[in-house]
Amino acid sequence: MTTNVPVPSREELVRRAQDLVPLLQKNAVWHEENRRLHDDTLEALGDAGFFKLRVPKRYGGFEVDTATLNAVLVELARGDGAVGWTTSVWNIPGWMVGMFPDAVQDEVYSTPDVRVCGTLSPGGQAVPTDGGYVVNGRWGFISGALHSHWQEIIAIAPTPDGQGMWPVAALVPLSDLQVIDDWYTMGMAGSGSVTTVANDLFVPAERVIPLVSILQGQSHSPASAELPIYRNPLLGVANASSAGTAIGLAEAAMENFLERVGTRKITYTDYAHQAEAPVTHLKVAEARLQIDQAAFHADRITRTADEKAATGAEWSLLERARTRADIGAICRLTKSAVDALSLASGGSSAYSSVPIQRITRDIHVVNLHALMAPDTNNELYGRVLLGLEPNTQYI
């Protein structure tokens, strides 16, 4: 176990993220072309301490709140959406490690700057055997797997009474899994969200816990149970951890648009400068307000999570559903803002050298994520507002 290290302030961590923006912008094309993060990017993230953000202090981590994590991710995604997204993903399964027994945490955190990838979708079967389980399965969209040490996998296993089946979460070394290099996508290519496969993989029983306990924020670790960051349900944490990437992408689109607008005219009109046209004024104002609205929803998610963590208060069903609606609203608003700025950027923005075309594709892919899709999340929120039971356990 690592002794506690000094924890930087939120302002210091945000400053470190801002300092990385030029490097991330420079590497963004490489990330996309190579469908993974550059070694220089990984080294810079590690040097800044961003692999320690949600790690318990007893293991040398920073144990920051979700508002701090969100502020850092906004800046990283402003540099490159794939970096923001991958960092957010590492901080969700990484947080889940703290729900496992202390001995398992000792094993995982024995690796300095450990990176844990994962998924919440059941993609395998876990068959009980002496001392653990034999797992076979396939998991897709595993962001950051190419640079990770461990993966959190979800499989279906018999319930303790043997009368039914339920999903369980397991921690396995990445070296125990086969990696399928299938991440050829229109956006978020740099996240390297490949597929992983388990073939007759033995997983010790102590590294397998029921998914429902993580969803409900019920830690199997006496040490973690005392920490504020582990007083939240999984989806509240995941939603609070995901907002920054979408907002950072929208901020990057605004920044790129404003950098170029002063050098552009509107072809086939008398406007020698695009910035002089009322239609430009309207588009910029609308996009800016949408980004600001998205920031409101991010603040509401993180404030809820951090206040609940500080007090230990229970989450109501409505609050749980609202965080799903909030992340959906963030995705919808930021995509709308990026789309408006992209369409107002003219034909020259179609060139691959202009960042806004990549930003547009990245935000589109973010909106496709099953847990972030606006319509699905609005439907869930509406059900709960109308007094109906949620039709999912992912709440």
d(CA 172, CA 145) in angstroms, rounded, equals 12
How high does pLDDT run on average in the chain? 96
Query: Is residue 361 a contact partner of residue 186, using CB atoms and an 8 Å limit?
Result: yes
Query: Is residue 280 a contact partner of residue 344, using CB atoms and an 8 Å limit?
Result: yes
Residues 82, 188, single domain; the answer is no
Residues 273, 359, single domain; the answer is yes
Query: Is residue 294 a contact partner of residue 246, using CB atoms and an 8 Å limit?
Result: yes
How does pLDDT run across 69-99, given as a tens digit for each residue? 999 999 999 999 999 999 999 999 999 999 9
Residues 176, 37, single domain; the answer is no
**Partner residues linked to 118 by β-bridges:** 152
How far lies 378's CA from each of 186, 293, 327, 335, 382, in Å?
26, 16, 10, 16, 6
How does pLDDT run across 157-209, given as a tens digit for each residue? 999 998 999 999 999 999 999 999 999 999 999 999 999 999 999 999 999 99
Residues 203, 332, single domain; the answer is no
- 79 assigned to some structural domain: yes
Residues 153, 58, single domain; the answer is no
Amino acid present at 353: S
How does pLDDT run across 105-122, given as a tens digit for each residue? 999 999 999 999 999 999
How does pLDDT run across 243-282, given as a tens digit for each residue? 999 999 999 999 999 999 988 899 999 999 999 999 999 9
Residues 235, 119, single domain; the answer is no
Residues 310, 375, single domain; the answer is yes
Residues 166, 201, single domain; the answer is yes
- 260 assigned to some structural domain: yes
Residues 94, 120, single domain; the answer is no
What CATH code is carried by the domain that includes residue 17? 1.10.540.10
- 225 assigned to some structural domain: no
Residues 161, 245, single domain; the answer is no
How far lies 267's CA from each of 271, 273, 342, in Å?
8, 10, 16
Report the 10 Å Cβ neighbour count for 142.
28
d(CA 29, CA 37) in angstroms, rounded, equals 10
Supply the pLDDT for residue 5: 81
Q: Which residues lie closer than 8 Å to 175 by C-beta, 6 or more apart? A: none
Supply the pLDDT for residue 1: 61
Q: Residue 18 sits in which domain range?
A: 10-98
Residues 378, 242, single domain; the answer is yes
* Percent with pLDDT over 70 in the chain: 99
Query: Is residue 141 a contact partner of residue 159, using CB atoms and an 8 Å limit?
Result: no
- Write the Ramachandran bin of 6: left for phi over 0, alpha for psi from -120 to 50, otherwise beta: beta
pLDDT exceeds 70 at position 393 = yes
Phi first, then psi: what are they for 321, rounded to 5°?
-65, -35
Supply the pLDDT for residue 3: 64
Supply the pLDDT for residue 104: 98
Supply the pLDDT for residue 50: 98
- 158 assigned to some structural domain: yes
How does pLDDT run across 328-354, given as a tens digit for each residue? 999 999 999 999 999 999 999 999 999
**Which tokens is 138 given?**
């396939």
Tell me 121's DSSP state.
S
More confidently predicted of 217 and 295: 295
Residues 250, 198, single domain; the answer is no
Supply the pLDDT for residue 262: 86
Q: Where are the alpha helices (DSSP H) in the chain?
A: 10-34, 39-47, 66-79, 81-90, 93-96, 102-108, 211-215, 222-225, 234-261, 278-311, 317-343, 355-368, 374-385
**Where residue 2 falls among pLDDT bands split at 50, 70, 90?**
low
d(CA 327, CA 278) in angstroms, rounded, equals 32
- 215 assigned to some structural domain: no
Please count the structural domains in the chain.
3
Supply the pLDDT for residue 194: 98
d(CA 71, CA 83) in angstroms, rounded, equals 14
Mean pLDDT of 5-24: 97
